[in-house]
């Protein structure tokens, strides 16, 4: 073999290795995108589950006869969990803000929010069902709170 033949073999080998590396790179990109979508779906599922827990907690609070503080604490905790999952979901910015504001109002203004728990339940049910009107209802609740008082 002469020098030219050796160079041709090396070039063919380099081209084949480059093609294999490109295919492997595309496979890994595809796997990454698939896993990312699966993780986002898990976050959405957990978000909707947390909203369902909020609705159940409001029902439990309204129907309870004792230990309302513990039930309200559980309600706030589940709403904060929903808020945390909302921030993990991609392309959810406007809804994230509303959910976070509602969680903040539940935490900071319990005296005012206890009178609005039926509205919170309705908003949580609508949000858990994937309806945009639930976020509008939540926005109305947040706007009705006197943030300078109790």
Q: What is the DSSP string of the chain?
A: --HHHHHHHHHHHHHHHHHHHHHHHHHHHHHHHHHHHHHHHHHHHHHHHHHHHHHHHHHHHHH-SS-HHHHHHHHHHHHHHHHHHHHHSTT-HHHHHHHHHHHHHHHH-HHHHGGGHHHHHHHHHHHHTT-HHHHHHHHHHHHHS-TT--
Distance CA 58, CA 102 (A): 14
- Report the 3 state secondary structure along 71-113: HHHHHHHHHHHHHHHHHHCCCCHHHHHHHHHHHHHHHHCHHHH
Instruction: Note the pLDDT tens digit of each residue in 94-126.
Output: 899 999 999 999 999 988 888 899 999 999 999
pLDDT, residue 148, reads 77
Over residues 42-62, mean pLDDT: 93
Is 146 a residue whose pLDDT tops 90? no
Is 42 a residue whose pLDDT tops 70? yes
Is 1 a residue whose pLDDT tops 70? no
Instruction: Note the pLDDT tens digit of each residue in 15-31.
Output: 999 999 999 999 999 99
Q: What is the largest CA-CA distance in the chain?
A: 95
pLDDT, residue 150, reads 54
State the residue for tokens 């959910």: 99
Is 2 a residue whose pLDDT tops 90? no
Query: Which of the four pLDDT bands, split at 50, 70 and 90, describes residue 145?
Result: confident
Is 149 a residue whose pLDDT tops 80? no
Over residues 65-91, mean pLDDT: 90
Over residues 76-86, mean pLDDT: 93
Say if residues 134 and 124 touch (Cβ distance below 8 Å): yes
């Amino acid at each position: 073999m002469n020098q030219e033949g050796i160079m041709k073999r090396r070039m063919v080998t380099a081209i084949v290795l480059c093609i294999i590396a490109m295919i492997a790179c595309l496979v890994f990109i595809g796997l990454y995108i698939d896993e990312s979508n699966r993780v986002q779906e898990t976050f959405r599922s957990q978000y909707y589950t947390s909203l369902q827990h909020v609705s159940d907690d409001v029902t439990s609070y309204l129907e309870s006869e004792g230990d309302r503080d513990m039930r309200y604490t559980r309600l706030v905790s589940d709403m904060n969990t929903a808020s945390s999952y909302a921030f993990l979901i991609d392309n959810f910015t406007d809804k994230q803000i509303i959910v976070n504001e509602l969680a903040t109002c539940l935490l900071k203004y319990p005296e005012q929010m206890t009178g609005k728990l039926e509205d919170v339940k309705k908003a949580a049910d609508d949000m858990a069902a994937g309806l945009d009107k639930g976020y509008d209802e939540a926005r109305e609740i947040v706007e009705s709170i006197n943030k300078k008082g109790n």
